């Protein structure tokens, strides 16, 4: 970056670049890595041990299995076609499970490397039901809704203390008529994780502190609720970085910031001294059930699993669509920060509930959607 810290960052890049050249291609074995397979990031393995309760060997095996499942997921979607009803990674078996409405596809899907589950409703049918709810205008007592492939339903989360509210009851009644829907109760409503200006290693816009997501060529991506298009951005040392070039919130929760004024971009997710910094090599989407880690300027590194995709989250400022739900905790100031699975960028922190002392859940905006929306190119190692 700038001044004394820029020398440190430059030295770090040289070190990481040398390490990157020694890494071998991604292994395809599951559940464990082959001999001579890819070198797993020590920091990522350490974070998974801490937050997922795994041994080092279990963490390495899981990362290898998840890489394989991600590759299988791309194949089975095409094989299932219109019958496809979703998929998820099963940490117990180390394999991907795919749901489909046509039982005659079971053999082909198993041959492709996935477990098979018969479904009554296709993903297309469930997505159509969810879109009806997206247009319905949910009250604040409705926390979120998403397609859940495991139960083959659209699951609607209602804040338990608000279940008797007339507007909530009306929304629930409308949802149950829309299609295959299941209602569940949750203890808390989601919120965004922006924060007032405090210390740390953040970026600032106005009096709000957020976290950088991922470097792209020309800037970085982050959460839309952190700033509006045109808003000036300052770095950790309060010197100017650039400005928000695009921002959307609510509806979406993404933005991108231009970088200049002596700053530059690097394909790295910071470990904040808790774990070594992580190189970013791509943005292949991890399946439901896969492990995932988050980096933010308040709570640093924490890990968990992907719980759901394409979820609509009903913040007090309005609903945000197509978010991914995780079991990772976060706190104010972590907004916009990086969600990464292995060395693959996943998304930027949007919001959630709870904290990193008592636990909670967090949603992120998928990074590929942000890249496509603004025509950006991820900066990779």
Residue numbers annotated as active site: 225, 253, 335
Contact 251, 243 (CB under 8 A): no
Q: What is the CA radius of gyration of the chain?
A: 21
Contact 360, 354 (CB under 8 A): yes
Residue 159 CA to residue 86 CA, distance in Å, equals 26
DSSP string, 166-201: HHHHHHHHHHHHHSSEEEEEESS--EE--EES-SSS
Helices (H), the chain: 3-21, 42-52, 56-80, 106-111, 123-134, 166-178, 367-374
Nearest alpha carbon to residue 366 among 317, 310, 327: 310
Phi-psi region of 131 (alpha: psi -120 to 50; beta: other; left: phi over 0): alpha
Upstream peptide bond of 250 is cis (omega within 30 degrees of 0): yes
Cβ count near 316 (within 10 Å): 10
Angle, CA of 278, 281 and 283, to the nearest 5°: 110
């Amino acid at each position: 970056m700038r001044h004394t810290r820029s020398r440190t960052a430059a030295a770090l890049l040289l070190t990481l670049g040398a390490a990157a050249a020694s890494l071998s291609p991604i292994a395809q074995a599951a559940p464990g890595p082959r001999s001579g397979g890819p070198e797993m990031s020590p920091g990522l393995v350490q974070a998974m041990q801490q937050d997922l309760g795994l041994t080092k060997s279990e963490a390495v095996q899981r990362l290898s299995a998840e890489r394989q499942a991600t590759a299988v997921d791309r194949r089975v979607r095409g094989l299932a076609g219109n019958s496809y009803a979703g998929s998820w990674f099963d940490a117990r078996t180390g394999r991907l499970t795919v749901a489909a409405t046509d039982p005659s596809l079971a053999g082909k899907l198993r041959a492709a490397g996935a477990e098979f589950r018969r479904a009554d409703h296709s993903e297309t049918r469930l997505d159509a039901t969810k879109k009806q709810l997206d247009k319905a205008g949910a009250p604040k007592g409705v926390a979120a809704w998403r397609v859940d492939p495991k139960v083959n339903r659209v699951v609607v989360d209602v804040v338990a203390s608000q279940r008797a509210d007339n507007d909530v009851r009306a929304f629930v009644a409308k949802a149950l008529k829309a299609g295959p829907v299941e209602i569940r109760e949750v203890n808390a409503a989601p919120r965004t994780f922006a924060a007032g200006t405090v210390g740390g290693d953040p970026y600032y816009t106005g009096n709000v502190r957020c976290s950088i997501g991922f470097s792209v060529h020309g800037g970085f991506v982050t959460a839309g609720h952190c700033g509006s298009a045109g808003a000036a951005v300052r770095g950790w040392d309060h010197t100017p970085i650039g400005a928000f070039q695009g921002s959307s919130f609510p509806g979406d929760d993404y933005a991108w910031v231009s970088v200049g004024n002596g700053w530059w971009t690097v394909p790295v997710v910071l470990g904040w001294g808790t774990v070594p910094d992580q190189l970013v090599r791509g943005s292949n989407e991890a399946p439901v059930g896969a492990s995932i880690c988050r980096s933010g300027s308040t709570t640093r590194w924490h890990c968990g699993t992907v719980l759901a995709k394409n979820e609509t989250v009903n913040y007090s400022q309005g609903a945000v669509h197509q978010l991914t739900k995780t079991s990772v905790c976060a706190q104010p100031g972590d907004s916009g920060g990086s969600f990464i699975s292995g060395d693959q960028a996943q998304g930027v922190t949007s919001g959630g509930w709870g904290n990193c002392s008592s636990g909670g859940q967090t949603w992120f905006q998928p990074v590929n959607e942000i890249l496509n929306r603004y025509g950006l190119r991820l900066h990779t190692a």
